Structure 1
Amino acid sequence: MKLISFDALRTLNFPAHTYIKPELYLAHLEAIQDADWLLFPEYWQLPALHFALGARIFPSYASYALGHSKIEMTRAFSACAPEHLPFTLIKANTDENAELIWQQMPLPFVAKIPKSARGQGVFLIETRADWQAYLAMTPCLYAQEYLPLDRDLRLIVIGHKVVGGYWRIQPEGGFHTNIAQGGQVMAGTLPTAAVDLVERVSAQLDIDHAGFDVAMLGQYPYLLEFNRIFGTQGVQDLYGDFNQHILTYLFKQTEHDPSSPNSPNRPRDGRKRPWYPNAA
């Protein structure tokens, strides 16, 4: 496979490939069009790479588009697995909507800033003062049912398959399970219900590289969110890196797609068509 990477650190241990600085990609259009896969581009590169050039991108376009905002991913979850989504209200940040959510959400509840990571934009709302402080920080209101748990699951998806996972335990007196916020990694059995749910949703939405966060209420899984570029702190100690899983997935998709630059079935005029994994 001919691979081009736009993220030198993420692909440091990959086999032979070409690294191109994202801001210089237009100077390498011929190489880009000849590549089998473009790895880890920047979000701002997608319109040109996906729509204009019809290039194969990893992670998938859907992984980028849905993973860019908690609002987008939540709306997708609500369409494909509504029974596994905690009660959630998403509204514009107006005084009227703020009061409506305050009246509808039982205390405590969780409020999130749509574009945030590492637990930095997730707040436990217990009082009116908490709510007012949140309102001053966010362009859009995102309120979600609080699940009274002291841990959740991080499931790693590569190519629509769960290839590993672990439990994240809240620190004493804390609310977040994120490792960056003091959460602790604990190895343990991955519940089948959670694995099956995440694999179904990731396949339906074409999310092929993500860390899914799942809350287990008894034996019942709830989808919280996913991160397209998930942290490796903790997970590498359990599984090492996931490079081989990525390469195996890319190779299988290259074999499946006749528009590969190296495929004898590629159109003779050299053009590449956009690749859609569910296309016949």
Structure 2
Amino acid sequence: MRLISFDVFRTLGLPDVQVIKPEHFLRHRDDLRDADWVLFPEYWQLNALVHGLKCRVFPSVASYRIGHDKIEMTRAFQTVAPHNTPWTLIEANGPRQREEIWDRMLLPFVAKRPRASMGEGVWLIENQADWQKYCDGAEVLYTQEYLPIDRDIRVVVAGDRVVTAYWRHQADQGFYNNIARGGWADHSAVPSAATDLALKVARTLDVNHAGFDIAMVGSVPYLLEFNRLFGNQGVNHAGLLRQAIFDYLAGELEPRDPPTPVTPVPPWPIAV
């Protein structure tokens, strides 16, 4: 395979990879056109590579576009897995909308900034002062019900399979489970309902490189979000992730006539 990467660290160990700095991509137009895969471009490169140079990119276009904005992501989740998406209100930031959301949401609730990661841009709203402070700095109002959990599950999907899944326990200050915010990883077994849901959603949305964050409330898994460029702190088998990516890239280039069977996934988990 002819591979070009724009992220040397995420493609370490893959064979025969040519690395290009993102800002130099126009100097390598012919190489990019001839490549079998272009790996981990920056978001701002996507249209030029896919529509201009007709490159095949990894992660997928859906991984980029859905993963770029929590509003778009939540609406996609509501479309394909409504029973496994927390109750969410998204409105323009105006006086009427602020009042309506405040009247409808039960305290405490969660407010988010649409474009943030690693636990940044997420607030627990416990009183009207918290709500006012959030609204004063928000372009769009994005609120979700608070789920009573002290840990969540990170499910890592690469290519067409789950590479690993682990618990993320709450940080000492509470609320945040992100390892970047003081949470910690626990590699004990996770419920299959969480991994089944993540893989089903990934396949349905054509997302092929993502760290899904899933909350378990009793036996019901809830989709919180996914990160296209997830942290590797909790991924204790980097070789498995690299192999999953390579297998997927190679497999997608093989002829598929007749189509290659896909491992079946159980039906959607639903609320009980």
TM-score (norm 1): 0.89
Structure 1 runs of 4+ off > 3 angstroms? none
- Say whether 1:243 aligns with 2:242: yes
SS at match of 1:91: strand
1:278 aligns to what? Answer: none
Ranges in structure 1 where 5+ consecutive residues have no aligned partner: 259-280
What is the letter of the counterpart of residue 178 of structure 2?
Answer: N
Find the aligned partners of 1:50 and 1:91 in 2 and give their Cα distance: 32
> Which secondary structure does the structure 1 equivalent of 2:254 belong to?
helix
- Distance between the aligned counterparts of 1:223 and 1:233, measured in 2? 21
CA deviations over 1:98-146 (Å, ceiling 9, x no partner)? 1110000000000000001110111100000000111122211100000
Shift of 1:174: 1.1
> Where does 1:103-252 land on structure 2 (aligned, <5 Å)?
103-235=103-235, 238-241=236-239, 242-252=241-251
Q: How does 1:245-264 map to 2 (within 5 A)?
A: 245-256=244-255
Instruction: Give the residue type in structure 1 aligned to 2:120.
Output: Q
Q: Secondary structure at the match of 1:171?
A: coil
Aligned residues: 256
Deviations 1:6-47 (A, max 9, x none): 112211222121111111111111111110000000101111
Amino acid at match of 1:31: D
Fraction of identical pairs, as percent: 54
The residue identity in structure 1 corresponding to 2:248 is Y
Q: In structure 2, what is the Cα distance between the partners aligned to 1:136 and 1:256?
A: 54
Alpha-carbon RMSD across the aligned residues, in angstroms, is: 1.2
Note the C-alpha offset of 1:256: 3.9
Decide which moves more: 8-17 or 92-101.
8-17
- Other structure's SS at 1:136 match: helix
Secondary structure class of the residue paired with 1:226: strand
Alignment correspondent of 2:45:
45
Counterpart residue type for residue 32 of structure 1 = L
Alignment of 1:83-94 (within 5 A): 83-94=83-94
The one-letter amino acid paired with 2:216 is M
Tell me the amino acid that sits aligned with residue 194 of structure 2. Answer: A
Q: Structure 1 CA distance, aligned partners of 2:18 and 2:173?
A: 47
- Is the 2:62–2:205 Cα contact (8 Å) retained in structure 1? yes
Contact 2:88 2:143 in 1 (8 A): yes
Aligned to 1:265: none
Amino acid at match of 2:140: C
